[in-house]
Structure 1
Amino acid sequence: MMDLTQRQWVKHAVIHPFEGFEDMRWKKSGSLKIAMLIVLLLFLGEIAYGRLYGFQFYISYDKTFNIIPYIVRSFVFFGAWTVGNWSVCTLLDGEGTLRNICIYSAYALIPYIVQLYVNVMLSHILVRDESVFMQVLELIGTCWTVILLFSAVKSVHQYSLKKTVFAVILTIVAMLIMLFLLVLFMSLIQQVYIFISTVYTELSYRAKV
């Protein structure tokens, strides 16, 4: 089997969706540092897509920059997918470790990330009548990433086709549950903060009086 560098393995996995991850698994390849860099590029790409898109295609009415939505769409979603898939597939006798799931899933995001940056650049070059090219590019990048994610789950856990579909569905359900619990937790933290702040303000006022 081929002997590639870590960067070459990334290219091999993306270009060969049905055998790239299988080859990576047998060679025990994959870099966690590269995976984290890819997730960081996803974060920056989401910001570029939301804030630097050509004005003729997208107008932002936000008066202030809020980084939270971009963190959610990159780091939080990716973390929820990784942990959710690991949790579900542990119950389904999957062979993948949390580290490998993280690496393979990050590699699978590359087509989607590439189309983010390319579309941002094209939005400053093309006119509105040519937006179909950007839509096609977005569709290709998204579908390619979906195929890679499916292949990554199948390869890292050594599942059959049907079991992979079942695992992906359960992973999405697990993500929704985790995100729902996260929203509840953040809401609880906010309520506690408001309560403490109110008590502190009241005590400060009474102390001055």
Structure 2
Amino acid sequence: MMKKLILLSLLLFAVCIYSQSRKIIDSEIRWKAYKTLKAESMSHYGTVKLKSATVTFNGNDLTGGSFSMDMNSIDAEDMNGNPKLKKMLENHLRSDDFFDTEKFPVSTFQIKSVKKSNNRNYDVQILGVLTIKGISKNITFPAKTVTAGNTTTITSAMFTFNRKHFGLKYNIFEDMLISNDVEMNVKIVVQ
């Protein structure tokens, strides 16, 4: 019994030594949504800010992490030329028609596993749980990790989620004009 306890303690100690958290020094979370007709002229795009995050590594290998996004920071960059319409769209996205930021100010992503990939452009496949409006769904996407000195940049490929799976629905008539797909890509720089 004592041997098992010592072995378990050594194993936990080894995991703690090799698994290390790193500090995020920069991030960019981009989104894009379309009308039913998927044309650039009929899309909205922008950013949402990272509120907090933890990222863990084993040496230079990404092993896990959790991320909180501040949904009140949603920015519709495509509307920068028209401040009045920009404000209307952003308030609409924050309303209970979509993200309901009064009740759900934060959306989260929790990495569940990271697997090496044979893809030339993306060296890992990330599986995690995306939670929006209290609804959690598994999503998987490829990402590229690049380490230079003591800095690692993690860049996801463009990935898509179905907004209706997270309760992002508008009134029935307007909703039919909006594509269900929302595109995202994420770039995180850690040190």
- Whether these two folds match at TM > 0.5 is no
Higher relative contact order (CA 8 A, sep 6+): 1
Alignment TM class, shorter chain as reference? under 0.3
**Richer in helix (by share):** 1
Higher strand share: 2
Q: Structure 1 length normalisation: TM-score?
A: 0.25
